[in-house]
């Protein structure tokens, strides 16, 4: 199916739905009155807003930088129907420094080979002078509240002329839309999704879930995340099932909203990152209603390694509302594969394997790098139809069942490489067309168990964070030894997720008082730039950070030193090292 065929098929599906509601969008403060859109309304309104917003030729890449809104959903679908290639960018949190965020955003946007950026009117005025492609505004409700984050009252900072600038380029050939594997910060990791890739993914996922128009999806996941975009928007839309979408910030503030909507709109599927199961269980005491949830077919744990403690806590707190242990499922997914690689069988409790029964033949990987907080590993399910899994040792040899190594995949919906500045980077795909995921796990009885990552990406609350981006931000701070900054993730037991740690060397003579001041500046700077505050920040003397024998900074060995010194502190030892704020 080519682009034209896909667009005609999408149009046909929306027309066939007629006046049946396919999409509900909740925006604060109208939590009880979502905007409801039928198939016919999505088709008409989507095309209308796309025609009124796009000012470049079809087949070009159009970036969408908008808050959760009806306009964001309609633009994504409408641009596709009108022949454009949209890409949704992460919208920042409200806890940002406007000018620092703007500077970082400009740097990121200049790396993306786009022809147009559609954003809020206020941000349009703020960015227009810095971009080499067209920036246009789209009015959204309460736009003035969103635009306050980007006040232009401050003088503009002069951007270095050394920053690379990208001009307008056509979208990748056969690209329906682009999604970014980097989530919150990795904007340069562009994955072009073709009609064939999307259809292969949706058909196989629907088959293993037995998904149909009788189902319903409820989601607070952002549209820039593949779990939100593919599982929670495209899957129900393609099969004529309704979905309800509300903002992740509203879920964090009012987590009971998820259960209210699952009950009221008969939600049958809900995808969540692992940390959300722990967070919801922790917030149970603040919830005042009673919700009927026994109809839910799947609470699917995805986006982070699955942890038994999180699932048990969730089931224990909400069993009296009808949550059944058999409905707690798992999925291994990534943007590089459009979405799902594996899925646990519906209606069956997820399998577990004790740690001691798993062999680690990859001796070059430290045990600390893949340590889980639970004593068992939880299955992420079986491979989707026609999907091949390989577990490969550090030596490059294949691993037998029950032996851990790097996960390699080959699927019908797999990407061809990352797309950047008009070029393809297929260095992560081997000669047999398997993608080296950088994730670490094993297969046992045809089920995949994901332990951790060989890559350096930090997964914080379900969002991928590239440590290189954090390091680049901190390196700009005066008083820090340029190029001597390391960022990495540290497991957090209570929330079942990773927290961000930053270690930076002070330039010149080490002064404790100045170090403490720099630590606070780093925390604020990282929060302003990426919207997530590091939990651990330490400014250390020069030469504290570990280098390899080749003279390069070793993030792995620096993290190892951090973990060992943290363990020493927890054990009552007084080993010198980073302070934990």
Residue 129 CA, chain-centre distance (Å), reads 30
pLDDT of 224 > 80? The answer is: yes
**Pairs from 444-448 (Cβ < 8 Å, separation ≥ 24):** 444/353, 444/401, 444/402, 445/351, 445/401, 446/382, 446/383, 447/342, 447/344, 447/351, 447/379, 447/380, 447/381, 447/382, 448/332, 448/341, 448/342, 448/379, 448/380, 448/381, 448/382, 448/383, 448/389, 448/407
Q: For residue 135, count other CB atoms closer than 10 A to its CB.
A: 21
Residue 326: band (very low, low, confident or very high) from pLDDT cuts 50, 70, 90: very high
pLDDT of 159 > 50? The answer is: no
pLDDT for position 577: 40
Which of 490 and 164 is assigned the larger pLDDT? 490
Question: Quick check: 301 and 328 in contact, CB under 8 A?
Answer: yes
**What tokens were used for 466?**
């590239």
296/347 Cα distance (integer angstroms): 10
312/299 Cα distance (integer angstroms): 13
Which of 404 and 127 is assigned the larger pLDDT? 404
What are the distances in angstroms from CA 106 to CA 22, 72, 223?
36, 21, 21
Top-level CATH class of 298-456?
alpha beta
Which of 132 and 329 is assigned the larger pLDDT? 329
pLDDT for position 150: 59
pLDDT in tens, 439-477: 889 999 999 999 876 767 787 877 767 677 788 788 778
What are the distances in angstroms from CA 378 to CA 60, 301, 390?
42, 11, 18
| Averaged confidence pLDDT in the chain | 85
What lies within 8 Å, CB to CB, of 172 at 6+ separation is: 85, 178, 192, 419
pLDDT for position 574: 38
Angle of helix 274-282 relative to helix 308-318, nearest 10 degrees, comes to 40
Same fold, 36-171 and 466-570: no
**What tokens were used for 175?**
């690209």
Question: Quick check: 555 and 456 in contact, CB under 8 A?
Answer: yes
Q: For residue 264, count other CB atoms closer than 10 A to its CB.
A: 14
List, in sequence order, every residue forming a beta bridge with 425; answer none if it has no partner.
418
Burial of 364 (0-12, 13-18, 19+ CB in 10 A): exposed
25/265 Cα distance (integer angstroms): 12
Strands 536-540 and 497-506 turn out to be parallel
pLDDT in tens, 522-575: 999 898 877 888 999 999 998 888 864 334 577 777 888 888 877 777 765 433
Q: Which position has the token pair 């170090």?
A: 515
Question: Quick check: 184 and 530 in contact, CB under 8 A?
Answer: yes
Element (H, E) at 407: strand 403-410
pLDDT of 166 > 60? The answer is: no
CATH superfamily of 466-570: ANL, C-terminal domain (3.30.300.30)
pLDDT for position 295: 98
pLDDT for position 337: 97
Q: Which position has the token pair 């002064």?
A: 511
469/108 Cα distance (integer angstroms): 10
Q: Which position has the token pair 């703007």?
A: 102
Q: What percent of the chain has a predicted confidence (pLDDT) above 90?
A: 58
pTM exceeds 0.75, yes or no:
yes
List, in sequence order, every residue forming a beta bridge with 218; answer none if it has no partner.
244
pLDDT of 154 > 90? The answer is: no
**What tokens were used for 212?**
């149909």
Dihedral Cα 102, 108, 113, 116, nearest 10 deg: -20
- Which CATH topology does 36-171 take? Rossmann fold (3.40.50)
Q: Which position has the token pair 């500045």?
A: 421
249/31 Cα distance (integer angstroms): 13
Backbone angles phi, psi at 242, to 5 degrees: -80, 150
Backbone angles phi, psi at 431, to 5 degrees: -65, -20
Domain boundaries, the chain: 36-171, 298-456, 466-570
């Amino acid at each position: 199916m080519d682009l034209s065929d896909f667009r005609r098929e999408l149009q046909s599906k929306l027309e066939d739905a007629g006046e049946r509601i396919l999409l509900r969008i909740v925006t604060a403060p109208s939590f009880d009155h979502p905007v409801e859109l039928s198939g016919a309304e999505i088709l008409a309104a989507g095309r209308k807003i796309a025609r009124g917003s796009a000012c470049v030729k079809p087949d070009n890449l159009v970036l969408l930088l908008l808050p959760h809104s009806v306009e964001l959903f309609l633009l994504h679908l409408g641009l596709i129907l009108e022949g454009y290639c949209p890409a949704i960018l992460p919208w920042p949190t409200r806890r940002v420094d406007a000018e620092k965020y703007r500077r970082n955003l400009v740097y990121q946007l200049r790396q993306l080979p786009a022809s147009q950026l559609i954003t809020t009117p206020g941000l349009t005025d703020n960015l227009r002078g810095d971009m080499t492609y067209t920036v246009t505004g789209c009015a959204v409700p309460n736009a003035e509240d969103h635009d306050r984050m980007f006040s232009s009252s401050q003088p503009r900072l002069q951007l270095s002329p050394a920053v690379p600038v990208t001009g307008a380029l056509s979208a990748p050939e056969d690209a329906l839309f682009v999604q970014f594997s980097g989530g919150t910060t990795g904007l340069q990791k562009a994955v072009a999704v073709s009609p064939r890739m999307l259809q292969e993914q949706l058909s196989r996922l629907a088959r293993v879930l037995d998904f149909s128009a009788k189902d319903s999806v409820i989601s607070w996941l952002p549209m820039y995340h593949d779990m939100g975009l593919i599982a929670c928007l495209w899957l129900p839309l393609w099969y004529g099932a309704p979905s309800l979408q509300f903002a992740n910030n509203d879920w964090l503030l009012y987590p009971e909203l998820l259960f209210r909507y699952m009950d009221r709109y008969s939600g049958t599927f809900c995808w969540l990152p692992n940390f959300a199961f722990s967070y919801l269980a922790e917030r149970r005491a603040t919830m005042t209603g009673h919700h009927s949830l026994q109809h839910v077919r799947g609470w699917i744990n995805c986006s982070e390694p699955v942890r038994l403690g999180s699932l048990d806590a969730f089931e224990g707190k909400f069993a009296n509302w009808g949550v059944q242990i058999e409905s707690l499922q798992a999925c291994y997914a990534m943007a590089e594969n459009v979405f799902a690689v594996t899925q646990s069988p519906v209606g069956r409790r997820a399998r577990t394997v004790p740690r001691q029964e798993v062999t680690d033949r990859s001796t070059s990987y430290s045990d600390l790098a893949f340590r889980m907080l639970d004593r068992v590993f939880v299955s992420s399910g079986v491979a989707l139809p026609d999907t091949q899994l390989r577990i490969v040792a550090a030596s490059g040899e294949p691993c037998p069942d029950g032996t851990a190594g790097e996960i390699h995949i080959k699927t019908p919906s797999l990407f061809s490489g990352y797309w950047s500045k008009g070029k393809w980077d297929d260095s992560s795909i081997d000669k047999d067309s398997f993608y080296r995921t950088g994730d670490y796990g094993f297969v046992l009885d045809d089920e995949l168990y994901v332990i951790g990552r060989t890559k350096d990406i930090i997964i914080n609350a379900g969002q991928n964070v590239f440590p290189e981006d954090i390091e680049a931000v901190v390196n700009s701070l005066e008083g820090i030894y340029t190029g001597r900054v390391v960022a990495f993730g540290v497991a957090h037991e209570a929330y079942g997720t990773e927290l961000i740690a930053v270690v930076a060397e002070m330039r010149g003579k080490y002064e404790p008082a100045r170090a403490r001041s720099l630590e606070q500046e780093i925390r604020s700077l990282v929060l302003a730039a990426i919207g997530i505050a590091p939990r651990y920040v330490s400014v250390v003397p020069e030469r504290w950070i570990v280098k390899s024998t080749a003279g390069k900074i070793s993030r792995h060995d620096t993290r190892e030193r951090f973990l060992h010194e943290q363990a020493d502190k927890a054990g009552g030892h007084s080993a010198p090292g980073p302070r934990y704020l």
